Chain A
Amino acid sequence: MAKRIDVSGLSAYYSNHKAIDDISMTVEPRSVTAFIGPSGCGKSTFLRTLNRMHEVTPGGRVEGKVMLDDENLYASGVDPVAVRRTVGMVFQRPNPFPTMSIFDNVAAGLKLNGMRRKSELENVVEKSLKGANLWNEVKDRLNKPGSGLSGGQQQRLCIARAIAVEPQVLLMDEPCSALDPISTLAIEDLIGELKARFTIVIVTHNMQQAARVSDRTAFFNLSAIGQPGKLIELDDTERIFSNPSVQATEDYISGRFG
């Protein structure tokens, strides 16, 4: 259920502005890769190129290749809608569908994929909510609106919604930045469990979080404001935080940079 991501020579633009420049990297299946770097370095933009969400922004366009195992997501004839069904995404602010119940939120993606049978839906919804460590908290109020949950619960609901369709890859764009420390811990534990099933890429501003949850860490940087972001280095998380091979990385993680 998890695939390798192989990016080569990828640049992304907002109209004429180049946001990220010539990025190449490999993300191993069933691992957690964290993207760190200063604001504006393009790590979120890069994340959004991995499920073709970048081009949703007006003027957004991408050059280069993203291989999911042996399929190029940017080959001509590839339907971005189909890509997004295999590469799930969790956003910075929890965004359950406010008009849908908890159950319908989790079932939303399944219904898009044409699953209609009630018993089948119930099975997958329960399994996904359990997978997101939310089942015990919501099993008695599945028909209540998802917007009535706490922020941390909403974010886990969004994770349940994303994993319900069994994606190959799960992208997370600062999933804890709007949450309190307890909820953050719950999500981090969950990420540890989910990596057994999915390839996970997470953008985070919190370096302790990157150190805690990820196997590999990628450091992005930009040479000046207005310049495109670049991948500085990608290595095992332990190595990045103890003995990075590039000086800029060390400056950033030790807070000497700014």
Chain B
Amino acid sequence: MDITPTDSALPPPSRGSVTRIGDRVFSGLARGSGIFLLVVMASIAVFLTIRATHAISQDHANFFTSFEWDANATPPVFGIGVLIYGTIVSSVIAMALAVPIAVGIALFISHYAPRRLATPLAYVVDLLAAIPSIIYGLWGAIYLVPHLKGLNLWLDEYLGWTGVFDKTDPEGAARSLFTVGILLAIMILPIITNVSREVFRQVPKMHEEAALALGATRWEVIRMSVLPFARSGIISASMLGLGRALGETMAVATVLSASPVLSAKLLDPVGGTFAQNIAAKFGEASPFGRDALIASGLVLFVITLLVNGAARLIIARRKEYSGANA
């Protein structure tokens, strides 16, 4: 049987060729953008790896375990022991403080607050995200550090026995990893809050009504329907926050009193993070010193990738039970 153009669902060929050009342009653009992204990623990775291997091969100290960072010296000695520790510890403190508070704020906005309170509150949280990190740094150094003295003394006195909150010099300034963690917590609060809030809003009405109809209180509805549905979203939100905390530079560099000492005492003003170390040393680094800093940057890059990968694994393992397939 002959198929005339009008029988076909597609437009007739004369106009079809026009659409096809548009189609081709668009698919070319889309493909090009995708390839461009991969090229950018790959070139960053290659750049980091080449410069880093060059630097590490000339390192006269163990790159992973030594504390000192003196890449301009001859022979150069530098290691990331302190930086790895400081970056992870400050980020863990930030996450431990920020995630529960952010989830709480998000739940309050999405499920508890009356609308006329929820909207301005959500707006204020958005504003927090708009503050540049150097402002956080200045505020942290000038306001937060002196005002944390009381908290530090209290922790030293009542929780000092844990070792973690024991302060070598109780009167000393609080330019410590602990303070950095608190500051980072405030900085990552908005992103975790906003993403969680959006996820909480997307919980299907019918899941919440299922719990309500069984005679669940508001908190029980949240526990039975909202949180399980939102779990993978909360994890993603936390990872976004963690990414920011791991890489935060200016605020940490402004607040932390950095020194190449690895201490389990979180309140002591010592330590450093990858980003802070790069920012502090980059200006006066020799070309080789820059490569050394790039090597530390590569480690930060890998840590971030691992963290994201782990988060994806957690999400994927719970997929069967997630709300997505309901």
Q: Flag whether A65 is at the interface (Cβ < 8 A).
A: no
A70-105 interface code vs B (CB 8 A; 1 in, 0 out): 000000000001111100110101011111100000
Chain B residues closer than 8 Å to A51, beta-carbon distance = 213
Number of B residues whose C-beta is below 8 Å from A?
24
Q: How far is the CB of A82 from chain B (nearest CB, A)?
A: 7
One of A27-35, A115-123, A158-166, A246-254 contacting the partner: A158-166
Q: How far is the CB of A179 from chain B (nearest CB, A)?
A: 15
Q: Flag whether A112 is at the interface (Cβ < 8 A).
A: yes
One of B86-94, B150-158, B214-222 contacting the partner: B214-222
| Contacts A109-B215, A112-B220, A161-B214 given; does A98 touch B206 at CB 8 Å | no
Contact A91 B209 (CB under 8 A): yes
A156-192 interface code vs B (CB 8 A; 1 in, 0 out): 0010011001000000000000000000000000000
Contact B215 A112 (CB under 8 A): yes
| Contacts A97-B225, A145-B321 given; does A82 touch B215 at CB 8 Å | yes
Number of A residues whose C-beta is below 8 Å from B?
29
Q: How far is the CB of A159 from chain B (nearest CB, A)?
A: 12
Contact B213 A98 (CB under 8 A): no
Segment 224-238 of A: residues with Cβ below 8 Å from B: none
Contact B209 A84 (CB under 8 A): no
Chain A residues closer than 8 Å to B325, beta-carbon distance = 98, 147
A-B CB pair tally, cutoff 8 Å: 80
Contact A112 B213 (CB under 8 A): no
Contact A99 B322 (CB under 8 A): yes
What does DSSP make chain B's interface, helix, strand, loop or mixed?
helix
Q: Could you tell me the distance between the alpha carbons of A162 and B155 in the complex, rounded to whole angstroms?
A: 50
Q: Flag whether A194 is at the interface (Cβ < 8 A).
A: no
Contact B207 A81 (CB under 8 A): no
Segment 210-236 of B: residues with Cβ below 8 Å from A: 210-217, 220, 224-225, 228-229, 231
Q: Flag whether B326 is at the interface (Cβ < 8 A).
A: yes
Chain A residues closer than 8 Å to B213, beta-carbon distance = 51, 53, 84, 88-89, 91, 162
| Contacts A82-B215, A84-B213 given; does A108 touch B326 at CB 8 Å | no
Chain B residues closer than 8 Å to A161, beta-carbon distance = 210, 214
- With A91-B209, A108-B224 given, can you name 16 additional A-B contacts, CB distance below 8 Å? A84-B216, A91-B206, A91-B213, A95-B207, A95-B209, A98-B207, A98-B228, A99-B228, A99-B323, A100-B224, A109-B214, A112-B214, A145-B320, A161-B210, A165-B214, A165-B215
